[in-house]
Each structure stands twice: as structure tokens, then as C-alpha cells.
Structure 1
Amino acid sequence: MFHVGDLAISSKQTLVELDPASGLQQLSADDLLTLTGTQLNGIADYRLVVDSDQLQALNDQIDRAMQAVGKRKAFEAVSQNITISAVRNGADGVIDANSSRGAGIQLRTSDHDGISAQVTVTIKAVAEPDEPEEPGKPGDSEKPEKPEMPRSGSAVQALAIISLLLVIASAICVYATAHLRSSYLHN
């Protein structure tokens, strides 16, 4: 068994942005390692492990984003930090240096166990669709209301003018009727 000084994890992308419009899918640990380009520095008896709870939380966010896209609803951008750790492989392949006296497999180990790196995956926001809304819904823009205001005001004004003309016409009729009666009675 021999030692390698430092165990190191490197990621080509520590910040990844996913776009729900392009059709997201559930991510496995391998998918995440590939997506971020995360690697270990060639030490044979270690492997990379993704925090399963954080990965599940990311997949839950992906589900919500895809449901929002399917229902054409808004979805705010969310980020999920995910810890990627280097852990020593199981005891199956490990040979105790004292009992084997150098016989068997030589393992490369590190002086530092338990290192980790963190990557952040962000799911982009899903905007509300630009469909025309039904009139009368709260939150409508003022454009539909502006033309209705003059029309309703014009209608009221027109009714008022018609009513006034009817009153004047009635007054003229009453006057004419009274005048005709008085002239009829004199004859």
C-alpha cells in the first residue's frame, strides 16, 4: 500500500442551468457527474458519491418545473446545491498491510479522507404564457377598460339626450294639444 498526498475532486462546471422548455428529465448520480464533469484525481480505491437527499430534492424540483410547463403556468427559478464526496471503496478489496506483508493488491490511498465538492444546479424560471386573458379577470391590463369607459359614458350621454328630446317632444305635444283644443272650443 502506498500513499498519494492529496485526494482531489474537480468539476468542469460547478454551476449548471437547466431549461424546462427544453424538456427536463430526472437526473441520476451518473447523469449529474457527467453533466458537471466532476472527476476524482485517479486514486484507485476511492469513488465519487452524490448526496442522495439533495439529488432527490433536485428531481422533485424538475418534476414541479415540468408540471408547470405542462399546465402552462409560471414557475420561479430554483437552485439546488448538491454535495459530491469522495469515499473509500468498501472493505472487500482492502487488504490489511500488517496481515498480508505486501502480498496481493497494492492500493493507492490518500492522507485525507472525506473530501467533497459542491455543485449548484439551477432550473430556469418558466414564464406565464402570453395568451390573451378573458375579460373581467383581475389583473387585466387597462387597455380593454379604456375603450369601454368612453363607450359606456357615450351610451349614458346618448340616453340622456334621447330622454331630454322625449321630454321636449312631450311638452310640445301637450302644448299643441292644449292649443288645438282651445281653438276647437272657440270654433
Structure 2
Amino acid sequence: MINEALRELRQRDEMIAELRQQLNQQKQKHQEDNDIQLDLAHDLEEQLNQERAAHNTLKSHYDKLKNKIPKNNHAVLVFGKEREKYRGEITDLVLNAITIYINTYVNNGKIPSQSRKKHILMDLVLANKVHDNREQYLKKLKSLFKSYKGMTPRIRKELKLLGLEVVESHNHNHIRFIEDSRYQVAFAKTPSDYRVGNNMIRDIKLALL
């Protein structure tokens, strides 16, 4: 009887060992499947980001061409060599400059309120749509650098979607428009205090926006 019990015990041990092996194989297969799914998701995300960046570039080019089309066969302004970094960047800047001129010279009485100059400038401001994308652009940057503690892959990816890149140089990083090194904002690789995020936004506004 004891031999029979021993034989049954050994059979149980063999069955347990076999089941454990099968379980480990299933776990390994499941992990491999998860890795495949994660890799696939990562590839799709990268492809989506590339498509978004390409879309933004194409949209900017389209807007540039669209804005060159004369209104009533007479264009007031046409774009020069500078390309918009985001939609409405140049046109909004020009309209804002006109508005500042009106507020400075017309509304303060330096130019008569019924002057031809005022009517022309007001007509231009009212006839052209303000995209106001600068504030949305700035809002996204503020969100990225809120409580900033250091550069991360996620921040780099989000900056790329905004047409910006981070370039490393010795002890500092530089933020600039992609493939345009004329305007750069330098900041330390290791944040020194809690104000660094706000300081970066301040410098970005001055240099890039």
C-alpha cells in the first residue's frame, strides 16, 4: 500500500511539475504577446506623431499660400521669406501692430478720429480674421513647463508637435524652432529652483513668440 501511495505521490509530483512548466510557458507567451502589443502601440503612436507634424507643416504652407491670394484683386500685404511657425503667427502680429498704432496715436488724439488714416487701419483690422493661436500655443507651453523638474521624452515629443526642438550644449539645453537656430532659449539641464519653468516661459515669449 505504501508503494502504491509513493507511486501516486510521484505521479502527482510529475503532474505538478508538468503543470508548472505549462504555466510558465503560458506566462512567457503572454509576456511576449504583451511586448508585441506594446511595440505595436509605440509604433502607431510614433506614426501618429509624425503624421500630426506633417499635417501641421502642410497646414502652415497652405495658410501661407492662401494668405497670398489677393482680396478683391488687390493684396494689401504678401508674405516675404519668413514662414509662419504656427497658423496665423505673421498675420496676427501685423494686425496687432496696427491695433497698437491705433490705440497709441488715434485713440489718444494724436491723429484725428475722423482721419483717412484711421478709417483705413480700422477697416483692415475689421476685415481680417485674428486667429489668436499665439495664446493657445503659449497655453500648451505653460502646461508643459508647469512644475518643471527636468527634460523628459514626453516633453520633447510634445515640443516637437509644436514645431520646437531641444538641442543640448554642455551644461545647458536650448529650445528653438525646428531647423531654425536664429532664435534660441537657453536653460540649465538641472533646474536650480521652482521658478525655472516660469522663467523659461518668460524667455520663450521674448525670443520665440
TM-score normalised to structure 2 length:
0.25
Q: Is the radius of gyration larger for structure 1 or structure 2?
A: 1
The structure richer in helix per residue is 2
Higher relative contact order (CA 8 A, sep 6+): 1
